[in-house]
Amino acid sequence: MAKRSKDWNEGLAEDLRDTEFAREFLLAAMDEGVSVQAALGKVIRAMGVKEFAERVGIASPNVLRAIDPSHNPTQATLNRLLEPFELKLSLVPIDKPKGKHAARPTPGARGRSRAWPGAGARARRKDPAPERPRAASR
């Protein structure tokens, strides 16, 4: 990672206090693959943890815990932290390239298949499973 000058970091921290700039920063960070916690941590620390905590109605220690990478906040907590930026976590479908499809495994195909657990185990046996004796019918 490139070293940043002190002035650059101070300028960024000042810009991040603006809600609209912070929103764009968070969106750009997500596009770059930065974790939600890391990006939120940068923004929240720039705005001031106490001030931000009062704004979202969460105690300061809980805000710090939510942005700590060693903790795993709930989706509801992250959405509360994203609310001032008019953002929320959601799932969206990935655009698939047209004309290319992944091959689907077929039942009984050699090898393990996640779609059909154990399907490959019978195919790898050298001898078929022995027949079970049937109860005599009366």
Dist. CA 137–CA 92, nearest whole Å: 58
Please report, rounded to a whole number, the percentage of residues in the chain having pLDDT higher than 90: 49
Neighbouring residues of 40: CB distance < 8 A, sequence distance ≥ 6: 26, 66, 67, 78, 81, 82
- Mean pLDDT across the stretch 101-117? 56
Kindly state the DSSP code that residue 57 receives in the 8-state scheme: T
User: By the 8 A CB rule, do 69 and 35 touch?
Assistant: yes
Q: Is residue 56 within 8 Å of 63, Cβ to Cβ? A: yes
What is the pTM for the complete model shown?
A: 0.61
pLDDT the model gives residue 94: 82
Q: Which residue in this structure is represented by tokens 């001898």?
A: 127
